[in-house]
Amino acid sequence: MAWELKTDRPIYAQLIEQLELRICSGIYPPGARMPSVRDLAQEASVNPNTMQRALASLEEDGLLYSHRTSGRFVTKDVEMIRKTRNKLAQEQVHEFLKKMGELGFEYSEILSIITDLAEELIK
């Protein structure tokens, strides 16, 4: 999963989202050591300060914690990660259905669009 940073919104916000995603999807597993701020910043082609800001935010949420010199780690609280994952999923579903609704799509239509797409990807 590559870093995808668009210019139409604050980078730190996008970093937060993508780090959250990486944690919830297990790319950074519970208890794992994160790459250093500087390495992450270089990976994402971003200033270390910007990356630091994003990491600090996740730390506030409790998803990360840091030991001064040994590095920064993903929480070992798998329950918290699971809840975060569900929260993110629910937000996605909610936003999606809202937008589609505003565009005038019925549930039946939405369902058939997704099933069609699913079949596309299977074959």
Partner DNA sequence: ACTATTGTATTAGTTACTTAATACAATAGT
Partner DNA sequence: ACTATTGTATTAAGTAACTAATACAATAGT
Chain residues binding DNA by CB under 7 A are 7-13, 34, 36-39, 45-50, 52-53, 55-56, 59, 66-72
Let me know: does 43 contact 35? Beta carbons within 8 Å: yes
* Coil vs helix vs strand at 1: coil
Contacted by 2, from DNA, a second copy, none: CB < 5 to 8 Å by type: none
Instruction: Provide CB contacts within 8 A for 12, sequence distance 6+.
Output: 50, 53, 54, 57
Please name the amino acid found at residue 98. Answer: K
99 scored as a contact of a second copy (CB under 8 A) = yes
Scanning 8-16, 31-39, 43-51, 62-70 for contacts with a second copy by CB under 8 A, the matching segment is 8-16
25 scored as a contact of a second copy (CB under 8 A) = yes
